[in-house]
Structure 1
Amino acid sequence: MAKEHPSTETIGKVDPVAYDSEEGIDRNFVEALARGLRILQAFHSSEERLSNLEIALRCGLPKSTVTRLTYTLTTLGFLHHIHELGRYRIGLATLTLGRMAHSRLDLMQASEGLLQELADSTRTMISLGIRDDLSVLYIDSHRSQSTAITLNLDIGSRLPLGTTAMGRAHITIMGVAERRIVLDRLRALSEANWPALEHGISRAFLDIAELGCVTSFGDWNKEINAVAVPLKLGNALPPVVINAAAPTRTVSAETFISEVRPRVITAARIIENRYKRNWLQA
């Protein structure tokens, strides 16, 4: 008999989160700052070079607004303007902030050495990711040294929230109110694709309950299999998920379940214990 998947309406049913005013406007939210940060997020790597028009299209902002913001970000060193090309790339100030944040994550110390060992033993790409709005962002990544992993993903890569194992794992650990808002936004983005998306998200809750991980076998990309496990690190860090991924031709779904899954779960528990121990000793 086919398993019945819980509806996301049941999973996330709650009154919408109240805003600071009756009009639904958060008066503590600084729109100009948010737009500037969205421009920095438009760059998918530190080497990418974008024009004001390309940035405007990625951010959904008027080109005139983008022109003023890129000028300001360049003046502060967060962007670098390549005059002969009329394009921008990420500036040293942004890269410095990234390095500082990365080096100060106690999580990196807790996972040191373990992620590479896990990648080699499972012949997969092992990554840590946090949620970034309706995407997930890779903050660490290790490839198997014994097998050629051709996935074009690395630190700073962003993946969709609703179709990837890592993204769905993040959805399973959200608070009920937050999850309801996120699901509504995902549905609004694509009503036509929502039934399949909802089915996959619902299945993620069954996966967690029955397998201890979330799976995505060809859901995001038909040539990629993956499993993901949320890390229980407390409230000192944003929610983090550990993910194992590999081409379907290299590691089958069956192998992911029987061999990769238990090793990723074990690694997750080791990282949690190391992190908590380091936190208590700090």
Structure 2
Amino acid sequence: MRKRAVAAGGAGPGEDNAAGDRQFVAAIARGFDILHAFRAEDPMLGNQELAERTGLPRATVSRLTHTLTRLGYLTYLPRFAKYQLGLGAVPLGQLALANMSIRRVAAPLMRALSEETNASTSLGKRDGLAMLYVEHVSPRTAVALQLDIGSRLPLALTAMGRAYYARAPEEERAAIDLEIAARQPAEWPVIRDGLREAVAMQERLGFTASLGDWNPTVHAAGAALSLPGGEIVALNCGAPAFMLGRERVLEEIGPRLAAVARRIESMARGPGGGSGGA
């Protein structure tokens, strides 16, 4: 199997899911690897950067970016000699978000928590070794985390990702462990300890935390919930560390976020809560 580059949260699932699957179309997977490499914080990428992020040969990347540009999923910017996601990708994302009834259930409660705590609140789902924001609310303050819908954060280091991990079935956690250990062998012992601590914290307190583990300037709590179809999504509530100290995360934000997660889960399962996935 080819060696894949490891960026923040990893690239898309690509051919890592192909082992033993004769129905798997590798060419399509490579195309999605290219699209997954773009992030909100890195909206423009060149062929060399895409090759480094996906682990694909430069010649293969050039053919894929040419094809995706012809199809409208990428736009080429001659001034920078780089690509950005094209308008062809927009309807797919909009349709996916529109089909997520959990966003409509969660948004009012997230907004209330954000305003009450003066912290940003987000809802996300797993995307490989990352968590993808599908809903985000910032407080009405000049100081807020510069993240939004579509942001991808590393699963293993963030409060949201750790909450997902702690709620996931044991076999899924084991698969995540193997993938992280293979991609980041040097960092794995520290990452492993953080994930084990998150599981214990979830069992003890009902939420998880990331106190500078992902970003030394950010503190956050995380809580996960299960949707009617069995899929797991996760919430976080965070702010710059100077606004949100360790004690407040553990004594106020975490318990309040866990209560919001339980209420959203109950509403999603009740009459009118909807059964759409996330």
**What code does the residue aligned with 2:38 have?**
F
2:156 to 144, 159, 162: 162
Q: How many residues align?
A: 259
Q: Distance in 2 between matches of 1:220 and 1:248?
A: 12
- State the alpha-carbon separation in 2 of the partners of residues 173 and 117 from structure 1: 24
- 2:170 & 2:206 partners in 1: Cα distance? 20
For 1:255, give the aligned amino acid. R
1:73/1:145 CA distance change after superposition, 3 Å: same
**Structure 2 counterpart of 1:188:** 182
Root-mean-square deviation (Å): 2.3
Query: 2:250 aligned to 242, 252, 257, which one?
Result: 257
**1:268 maps to 2:278:** no
Extract structure 1 runs of 4+ deviating beyond 4 A: 279-282
The CA distance in 2 between the partners of 1:39 and 1:148, in whole Å, is 33
Give the distance between the partners of 2:167 and 2:198, measured in 1 at CA: 11
Q: Tell me by how many angstroms 1:46 deviates.
A: 9.2
Correspondence for 1:16 = none
CA contact (8 A) 1:36 1:69 kept: yes
Counterpart residue identity of residue 61, structure 2 = V
1:3 alignment partner in structure 2:
none
User: Does residue 223 of structure 2 align to residue 229 of structure 1?
Assistant: yes
Code of the aligned partner of 2:170: V
* Cα deviation 1:85-108 (Å, max 9, x = unaligned): 432211111011111111221011
TM-score, reference length from structure 1? 0.84
Indicate yes or no: 2:235 matched with 1:216.
no
Preserved contact between residue 123 and residue 147 of structure 1 (Cα < 8 Å): no
Structure 2 CA distance for partners of 1:77 and 1:47, relative to 1, 3 Å: farther
Q: Within 1, Cα distance between the matches of 2:274 and 2:40?
A: 35
When residues 112 and 160 of structure 1 are mapped into structure 2, their CA distance, relative to the original with a 3 A threshold, is closer
The one-letter code of the counterpart of 1:167 is G
Q: Is the 8 A contact 1:120 1:146 kept in 2?
A: no
1:47 Cα deviation (Å)? 7.8
Unaligned stretches of 5+ residues in structure 1: 1-19
The amino acid across from 1:100 in the alignment is L
SS at match of 2:215: coil
Counterpart code for 1:163: L
Match of 1:56 among 51, 60, 66: 51
1:35 Cα deviation after fit: 0.6
| Residue type of the alignment partner of 2:252 | E
Q: Assess if the C-alpha contact under 8 Å between 1:80 and 1:90 holds in 2.
A: yes
For 2:88, what is the secondary structure of its paired residue? helix
Shift in Å, 1:62? 0.9
Aligned residues with identical type, % of pairs: 36
Counterpart contact for 1:47–1:90, Cα < 8 Å? no
Amino acid at match of 1:201: L
3-state SS of paired residue (1:113): helix
Q: Whole-Å Cα distance in 2 between the matches of residues 177 and 270 of structure 1?
A: 27
Q: Is the 8 A contact 1:110 1:278 kept in 2?
A: no
Between Structure 1 and Structure 2, whose CA radius of gyration is higher? 1
1:100 corresponds in structure 2 to 95
Matching residue of 1:134: 129
Q: CA deviation at 1:147?
A: 5.9
Q: Return closer, same or farther for 1:83/1:222 CA change in 2, 3 Å cut-off.
A: closer
Task: Output the CA distance in 2 between the equivalents of 1:122 and 1:84.
Answer: 43
Letter in 2 for 1:110: V
Shift of residue 251 of structure 1? Answer: 1.2
1:86 corresponds to which of 54, 63, 81 = 81
SS at match of 2:272: helix
**Contact preservation (8 Å) 2:102, 2:274:** no
The verdict on how the C-alpha distance between 1:144 and 1:30 changes in structure 2, with shifts beyond 3 A counting, is same
Aligned partner letter, 2:34: I
Distance 1:112 1:193, change over 3 A: closer
Contact kept in structure 1, 2:268 and 2:275, CA below 8 Å:
no
| 1:148-185 deviation per Cα after TM superposition (whole angstroms, max 9, x unaligned) | 22x23222111112121111112122222222121012
Q: Which moved more, 1:215-224 or 1:31-40?
A: 215-224
Which ranges of structure 2 fall in alignment gaps of 5 or more residues?
1-16
